[in-house]
Structure 1
Amino acid sequence: MTAPVAEDLLRELTPQVLGALVRRHGRFEDCEDAVQEAVLAAAVQWPAEGMPDNPRGWLTTVASRRLIDQMRSDHARREREAATAADVGPEDVPATDDTLVLLFLCCHPTLTPATQTALTLRAVGGLTTAEIARAFLVPEATMAARISRAKQRVRAAGGSFVLPHGAEREERLQVVLHVLYLIFNEGYTASSGRELHRADLAHEAIRLTRMVHAQLPGDGEVAGLLALMLLTHARRQARTTAAGDLVPLDEQDRAKWDRGLIDEGVELVKASLAGPALGPYQLQAAIAATHADAATAEETNWPQVHALYLILERIAPNPMVTLNRAIALAEVEGPAAGLALLSTLDGDERMAGHHRLLSVRAHLLDQTGDTAGAYEHYRRAAKATASIAEQRYLESRAGRLRTRS
């Protein structure tokens, strides 16, 4: 077995093994540490010695022994359980997959979105603390402390390893979906650093959302979120040049879009919209599907995009939704109409100095012929973002205007 194959399998099995241990023993924090020890042992042994007949049983045995040793003595040796681990028959391993329950636990309402995200990537995604730290550009020690505090808060809050019911379940599911959405967004457009993409985070968000969808196939918003991720991720290869420079949607080579992901995403959108309820992820997916349906940027059905944003703005008001509606409105009624809508965001503290508001205003000002105003806003936008790729793009737009004036 090669190391990459082992790594993929371990990421799939990690939440299943952790769920089995937490269900059996409680002690989420200790179980998570034990599972990570087992995963580390497997990452070393499986590529060298071959995969056991029952990898999930192997991991469960190693993690269980590590946990029991930890309970018995603070001086338990990590090598013992890995060296003596015996292959366990399927009957010794719970048949249930507790991944969804584990996701609910990691997205406990007492945690902040940042800690929910980190804990989800560690416990459910199977990423190491170092990998998560690198993804969010913080020292490993800082991320380790954040994850440790998150586990302690879950324990202190008395988080139980059961799926909530009724309204509480729906509320908690929305938190789970929001965390997965945040992970995907950070992977698709990194908030800082030199690279525009962090493909590992985007892939992980899609993988985890697929798992949730497999367990809740009838939930429209779960299907909508998965569709949104697939339709958005389908454009990844066209979003940058060979040098890593950003390519905006209207300039992308659509032949580079992944048609397989688009087809899957469109089918999910159709299925989700057929349900009785309509949520924000379904609407965003429908917007993404409208863009994907256009063979060229000029063929985009902008009236439909604007209509969908109007509905989204009504059911889930958010300044970013209004900003995106302004772009669509400008395509339908002209840049002046888009600028008028943007002006309604000027008093919103959440958007004060945001590079997206500045860059969209620059784009629309340029369309009205206000070259000086557009140049100034592009320059301000470039200074307001921590993403090097976005900085380069915005500065290049300002440079073109300077040359033109």
Structure 2
Amino acid sequence: MTSQTATTDAIQEALSGVLDPEIRRPITELGMVKDVSVSPEGVARVLIALTTGGCPMKDTISTSVAKAAGAVEGVSDVAVDLTVMTDQERADLRTHLRGGAAEPVIPFAQPESLTRVIAVASGKGGVGKSTVTANLAVAMAQQGLRVGVLDADIYGFSIPRMLGVTNRPTKVEDMILPPVAHDVKVISIGMFTPEGQAVVWRGPMLHRALQQFLADVYWGDLDVLLLDLPPGTGDVAISVAQLLPGAEMLVVTTPQVAAADVAARAGAISQQTRQRVIGVVENMSWLTQSDGTRMELFGEGGGSAVAQQLTAALGHEVPLLAQIPLDMTVRQGGDIGAPVAGIAVSEPGSETEGATALRTLAQHLATAKRGLAGRRLGLSVI
């Protein structure tokens, strides 16, 4: 074997460590590396086929390829050339990612799925449901879990802003590759609508959009999928129950009595949908003042009341999992797309109350055991 051949093989091996930023799989496995050559002077030339001509991550891919190839012994310089997959190559890639399935299916609805699906629900708007969802997603990702977020609040989508998503999804044939922010895969109708334009859809269109986000989006192997539901018990909540019968519900409320009553009704929908309510989160529980005292702006006891009502109505314990205080940094993090629960704290004791409460909630949910209902156990009769 010549030294040039050995170097080419070494570059191929090095490129197996380069992941596509959207698909999160090695570019060698995806068939993106079309050619590798090395000149006598040690100049490596790598030809990469992008999934689409307008791939938003092409610069990132080029940089990663050049860095990986340049680290190989004997390589003095790297030239990365870009081309675009043919229609057949894209079709083959789509089939490969779907595991050979010809038609899209909802992977999380399959009996063998190991992904935990948590639908974050609320009785009314303005209780911080999306804030809780965004912070849980990033905190879980920082704990090493593979996390996805589906913004199912079609009319009032806010997840893209809260997670700082600026890229549009990439399409491979009829498959959608979701953008990634803070190591979380994200999809939302807000990525497909012009700025400032309202979504005016009826029930069947809402159901179809949710179905496409679940089946047509390439989520990959997720540990957790979080759904940010719209408030109330309308079309989307019913569609989630139909499309994801194994989904669990996390109910968000505030301490206010009026909000708690409505939140309890949102959780009680599980009686009809047969979903399990795993707990209640009370948001905006108090405001800690400069002297250390707590001002309970929205009253107290709402979260406990919801947990008690749901426990009595559903016949199983529904605990109050967390009380999240009012925290300006949490609001600021949502506005700039940097959820505070996922920000590394450099100095002990410098983390804010809200961030600590959200991070603790994420740790609890990440380690909680999942039920076996609806799952295929792989047992056989001997």
Measured against the shorter chain, the TM-score band is 0.3 to 0.5
Give 1 or 2: higher strand fraction: 2
TM-score for both structures, normalised by structure 2? 0.32
Give 1 or 2: higher helix fraction: 1
Structure number with greater CO (CA < 8 Å, separation at least 6) is: 2
TM-score for both structures, normalised by structure 1? 0.31
